[in-house]
Amino acid sequence: MALYVVERDLSSVAPERLRLDQRDVASACVQLRARGKRIRYISSAIVPADGRALDLFGAESPEVVKEAHTAAQVAYSRIVEVLDLTPSFVHRGTSRSRRSLQRAAGASIDEGHAKGATHAMTASRSPELARWLADGQRLFAVCLETLESSERLQARNQTLESENELLRDEVARLRQKVDVLQVDRAEMVAAFNDLAGHVTQVVDHILQKSEDGENSKP
């Protein structure tokens, strides 16, 4: 899959709205994967000074990334393909806290109305907002993994239900066959009893004639 960066304008987006947009885009990616399309929501970053978000996706084409944002109803400025040249020895992990959300929200709103007056405040809060976004990213990764596990379990359940349905049909067919065999057996027993009774009558008749012949001799 190729890598694509989605640029979004956050100048008028509250932090809570940003979190919901990320959730909706992640859900849209899961739905697209369920339909056989290749896409993965990798990470998100923001540029507080410019009020921009940069979201990284792995996808088979930019059209699939666009489709995910359209399904999630999340606006974006542009989608561009990028190359990952990060050296293997560079550690990518970060540890951030989400407790900065409410504090950072006030700074973001003030920046939209008076950017020059609150530039210092925004700069001081940007690490806190970045920490919140990093933790949010990890949380969404866990949610995505949970959704994917749920999809696999649903597919497995559907397979088991299909197998159970086939087994139920086979059991019904075998029961029907047993019923037919039981009827045939009953008919055979009745026919055997009739034959046995007829043979008994014939034997009795022969014995009776034999006795009568012996009695009639001088």
In sequence order, the 6+-apart residues with CB closer than 8 A to the CB of 147 are 27, 30
Domains of the chain from N-terminus onward: 2-145 (3.30.70.3090)
Q: Which residues pair with 59 in a beta bridge?
A: 2, 39
* Residue 44 CB-half CA count within 13 A: 27
Element (H, E) at 205: helix 119-215
Mean model confidence pLDDT for the chain: 78
Backbone angles phi, psi at 74, to 5 degrees: -115, 125
Whether 138 shows a pLDDT value over 80: the answer reads no
Q: What is the mean pLDDT of residues 200-213?
A: 75
Confidence of residue 217 (pLDDT cuts 50, 70, 90): low
| pLDDT, tens digit, 9 for 90 and up, residues 164-200 | 888 888 888 888 888 888 888 888 888 888 888 888 8
Confidence of residue 20 (pLDDT cuts 50, 70, 90): very high
Backbone angles phi, psi at 47, to 5 degrees: -115, 95
| pLDDT, tens digit, 9 for 90 and up, residues 118-128 | 444 444 456 66
Higher pLDDT, 105 or 83: 83
| pLDDT, tens digit, 9 for 90 and up, residues 46-91 | 998 888 999 999 999 999 999 999 999 999 999 999 987 877 666 5
